């Protein structure tokens, strides 16, 4: 059994906002906090009750806010602390929660700590980062090149797991632990209801095992942050590449005083060989994966998190759905995922079935990872081939402005957007989708509202009905005498004879017409509800 606190998170529908690209309230071409506040009623109508705000702290934006220069202030382009307070109040007055993005592994090189640290080997901040006379290993930066750069001022090398402007904090220094604890407390006092924690597994390095993550002190550090009285009520989700059950349990076991849940990423790799290279993938793979994990997490009293998209990966619909059946496959993925047992995360734009845009030059991209990758690829292949890969895998696919309507700049800004808007925003935008008979948005809304109305779909037991390796998915969710049966066919039309009584059809993406045969069309979803024992 999940305890009361963890159980309550099963009803959270968290919408991930990428503030830079959500809605621009002041015409400077960059989304902002006031823009998020302006759209809360929109989110509420969709059935969202919490938002996760990607980093909004002071930053020179080498990595769009994942390079924090001051954890206690707001990025200039996003507004002020007063705007943040207004957003928090506006959320709470709507009974919605705020989850902030905590980036504890590294800061910006512009952060005061680094500016001080680089000055000398014996100042109060000198051990806040990892400094070396010569690099101790050959670790590579996630954005390309060595993970060690030479700093002229201090005359030493420092470690950066990401861009050179993102030096890694040295958590072995107890002062660093205290500093980040104080940051957490600052935001809890401001009214934050939780945190998504960036690359949490990297805060302790395994130097001996030559791994830049999952070091020997990881759990000690996580407990120092979240195993305290001050933080016992908040929600936390770790960005963490734990794959084995025992490792997952160490992070999110209810008795651990660590995290509430974590993102498990296995399913994001279906449909690609690596981030920039497509490889055929299928919904069958997705079904095998979620079927296993939803059941395993439930049986082990762990809180699962359900998501398909985020700001770091191209759209899942592009890899596992179908362009021809955009509406049907978007609904199929939504029903299959969001009727599971777990905390739901929806990434902005997913609710209108966004697909990857396509561009011909690298000038239309902004992401540091994509630009570095393009330069590296061009050494090995033609620029056209390199662009194909960037179009497939760029993180900018999901970072382009939200398409509100078909007007200039997709209704995102009255100014010039910081990044060109999605190349297909005239055909795929919220206004158009909502007006359509085949509205992905409406389907997302129906699912989220169904969850809100029926405990069976939040806290209820999950039981798979379709076995592994099937070309369809089917499962039940049950609480008390209420049971739902969810059936999602994949691409091939077929007869599906599901055992047992089904009940009344209450949700479909092919019209709410009571099924009189077993035929399922491509990506057809049918959700049935029944009362058990008469």
Burial (CB count within 10 angstroms: exposed 0-12, middle 13-18, buried 19+), residue 278: middle
Q: 192-213: b or e for each residue (b if 16 or more CB lie within 10 Å)?
A: bbbbbbbbbbbbbbbeeeeebb
Q: Which of 77, 83, 109, 198 is catalytic?
A: 198
- Active-site residue flag, 239: yes
Token code pair at residue 178: 């205290």
CB of 86 to ligand GLC, least distance (A): 26
Residue among 242 and 457 whose Cβ is closer to ligand GLC = 242
CB of 418 to ligand GLC, least distance (A): 16
Q: Which of 239, 309, 318, 491 is catalytic?
A: 239
Residue among 268 and 290 whose Cβ is closer to ligand GLC = 268
**Which residues in 491-530 contact ligand GLC (CB under 6 A)?**
none
Site string for ligand GLC, 15-54 (x = CB under 6 A): ----------------------------------------
Candidate residues 199, 200, 213, 336; the one interacting with ligand GLC per rule CB under 6 A: 199
The set of residues, in sequence order, having a beta carbon less than 8 Å from that of 502 and lying 6+ positions away, is 485, 515, 528, 530
Other Cβ atoms within 10 Å of 495 Cβ, number: 9
> If you compute the radius of gyration of the chain from its CA atoms, what whole number of angstroms results?
23
CB of 326 to ligand GLC, least distance (A): 26
Residue among 40 and 225 whose Cβ is closer to ligand GLC = 225
Position 63 contacts ligand GLC (CB under 6 A): yes
Of 349, 485, 332, 383, the C-alpha closest to 43 is: 349
**Which residues in 64-93 contact ligand GLC (CB under 6 A)?**
66
Token code pair at residue 45: 């109508």
CA distances to 273, 281, 438 from 320, in Å: 13, 6, 19
Distance CA 159, CA 150 (A): 9
| Position closest to ligand GLC via CB | 66
Residue 245: how many CA atoms within 13 Å on its side-chain side?
11
Residue among 30 and 447 whose Cβ is closer to ligand GLC = 30
Is the separation of the CB atoms in 430 and 350 below 8 Å?
no
Of 58, 67, 70, the C-alpha closest to 166 is: 67
CB of 105 to ligand GLC, least distance (A): 7
Of 106, 100, 99, 101, the C-alpha closest to 67 is: 106
Is the separation of the CB atoms in 160 and 149 below 8 Å?
yes
CB of 104 to ligand GLC, least distance (A): 10
Q: How many residues at the interface with ligand GLC, by CB under 6 A?
A: 9
The set of residues, in sequence order, having a beta carbon less than 8 Å from that of 91 and lying 6+ positions away, is 40, 51, 97, 98
Candidate residues 103, 297, 362, 447; the one interacting with ligand GLC per rule CB under 6 A: 103
**Which residues in 316-355 contact ligand GLC (CB under 6 A)?**
none
Position 139 contacts ligand GLC (CB under 6 A): no
Residue among 66 and 441 whose Cβ is closer to ligand GLC = 66
CB of 61 to ligand GLC, least distance (A): 11
Is the separation of the CB atoms in 374 and 362 below 8 Å?
yes
The set of residues, in sequence order, having a beta carbon less than 8 Å from that of 360 and lying 6+ positions away, is 387
Residue among 103 and 421 whose Cβ is closer to ligand GLC = 103
Candidate residues 32, 83, 198, 309; the one interacting with ligand GLC per rule CB under 6 A: 198
- Distance from CA of residue 420 to its chain's centroid? 22
Position 116 contacts ligand GLC (CB under 6 A): no
Query: Could you please report the per-residue DSSP string of 291-354?
Result: HHHHHHHHHTT---EE-S--TTS--HHHHHS-STTHHHHHHHHHHHHHTSSSEEEEETTGGGT-
User: 195 - beta bridge partners?
Assistant: 100, 236
Indicate left, alpha or beta for 511 from its phi (over 0: left) and psi (-120 to 50: alpha).
left
CB of 122 to ligand GLC, least distance (A): 29
- Distance from CA of residue 457 to its chain's centroid? 21
Residue among 311 and 529 whose Cβ is closer to ligand GLC = 311
Residue among 332 and 346 whose Cβ is closer to ligand GLC = 346
Candidate residues 71, 125, 162, 472; the one interacting with ligand GLC per rule CB under 6 A: 162
The structure tokens 């680094």 sit at: 114
**Which residues in 376-435 contact ligand GLC (CB under 6 A)?**
none
CB of 509 to ligand GLC, least distance (A): 31
Residue among 63 and 396 whose Cβ is closer to ligand GLC = 63
CB of 162 to ligand GLC, least distance (A): 5
Token code pair at residue 254: 């209810």
Angle ∠(525,527,528) on CA atoms, nearest 5: 145
**Which residues in 276-315 contact ligand GLC (CB under 6 A)?**
311-312
Of 333, 323, 259, 329, the C-alpha closest to 289 is: 333
CB of 456 to ligand GLC, least distance (A): 33
- Active-site residue flag, 63: no
Token code pair at residue 122: 């014996």
Residue among 295 and 369 whose Cβ is closer to ligand GLC = 369
Site of interaction with ligand GLC (CB under 6 A): 63, 66, 103, 162, 198-199, 239, 311-312
Give the residue numbers marked as catalytic.
198, 239
């Amino acid at each position: 059994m999940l305890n009361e606190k963890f159980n309550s998170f099963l009803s959270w529908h968290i919408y991930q906002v990428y503030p830079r690209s959500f809605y621009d309230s002041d015409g400077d071409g960059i989304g902002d906090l006031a823009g998020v506040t302006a759209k809360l009623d929109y989110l509420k109508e969709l059935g969202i009750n919490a938002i996760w705000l990607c980093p909004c702290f002071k930053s020179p934006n080498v990595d769009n806010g994942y390079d924090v220069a001051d954890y206690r202030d707001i990025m200039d382009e996003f507004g002020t602390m007063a705007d943040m307070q207004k957003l928090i109040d506006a959320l709470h007055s709507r009974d919605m929660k705020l989850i902030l993005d905590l980036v504890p592994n590294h800061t910006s090189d512009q952060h005061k700590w680094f500016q001080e640290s680089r000055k000398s080997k014996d100042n109060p901040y000198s051990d806040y980062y990892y400094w070396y006379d010569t690099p101790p290993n050959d670790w590579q930066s996630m954005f390309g090149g060595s993970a060690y750069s030479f700093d002229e001022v201090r005359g030493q090398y420092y470690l950066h797991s990401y861009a050179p402007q993102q030096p890694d904090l040295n958590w072995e220094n107890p002062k660093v632990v205290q500093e980040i604890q104080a940051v957490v407390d600052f935001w809890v006092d401001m009214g934050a209801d939780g945190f998504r924690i960036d690359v949490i597994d990297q805060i302790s390095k395994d130097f001996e095992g030559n791994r830049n993550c999952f070091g020997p002190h990881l759990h000690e550090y996580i407990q120092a942050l979240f195993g305290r009285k001050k933080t016992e009520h908040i929600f936390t989700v770790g960005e963490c590449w734990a794959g084995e059950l025992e490792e997952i349990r160490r992070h999110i076991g209810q008795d651990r005083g660590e995290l509430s849940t974590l993102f498990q990423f296995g399913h994001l790799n279906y449909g690609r060989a690596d981030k920039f290279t497509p490889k055929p993938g299928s919904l069958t793979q997705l079904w095998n994966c979620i079927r296993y994990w939803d059941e395993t997490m439930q049986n082990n009293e762990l809180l699962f998190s359900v998501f398909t998209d985020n700001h770091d990966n191209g759209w899942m619909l592009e890899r596992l759905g179908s362009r021809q059946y955009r509406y049907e496959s978007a609904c199929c993925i939504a029903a299959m995922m969001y009727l599971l047992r777990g905390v739901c995360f929806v990434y902005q734009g997913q609710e209108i079935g966004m697909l990857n845009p396509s561009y011909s030059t690298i000038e239309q991209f902004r992401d540091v990872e994509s630009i570095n990758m393009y330069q590296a690829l061009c050494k090995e292949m033609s620029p056209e081939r390199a662009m194909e890969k960037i179009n497939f895998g760029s993180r900018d696919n999901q970072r382009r402005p939200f398409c509100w309507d078909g007007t200039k700049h997709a209704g995102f800004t009255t100014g010039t957007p910081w990044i060109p808007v999605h190349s297909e925003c005239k055909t795929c935008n919220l206004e158009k989708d909502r007006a359509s008979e085949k509205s992905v948005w409406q389907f997302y809304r129906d699912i989220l509202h169904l969850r809100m109305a029926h405990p069976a779909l939040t806290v209820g037991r999950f039981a798979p009905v379709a076995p592994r390796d099937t070309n369809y998915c089917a499962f039940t969710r049950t609480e008390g005498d209420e049971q739902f049966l969810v059936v999602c066919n994949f691409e091939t039309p077929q007869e599906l004879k599901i055992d047992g009584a089904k009940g009344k059809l209450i949700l479909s993406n092919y019209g709410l017409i009571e099924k009189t045969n077993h035929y399922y069309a491509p990506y057809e979803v049918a959700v049935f509800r029944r009362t058990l024992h008469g």
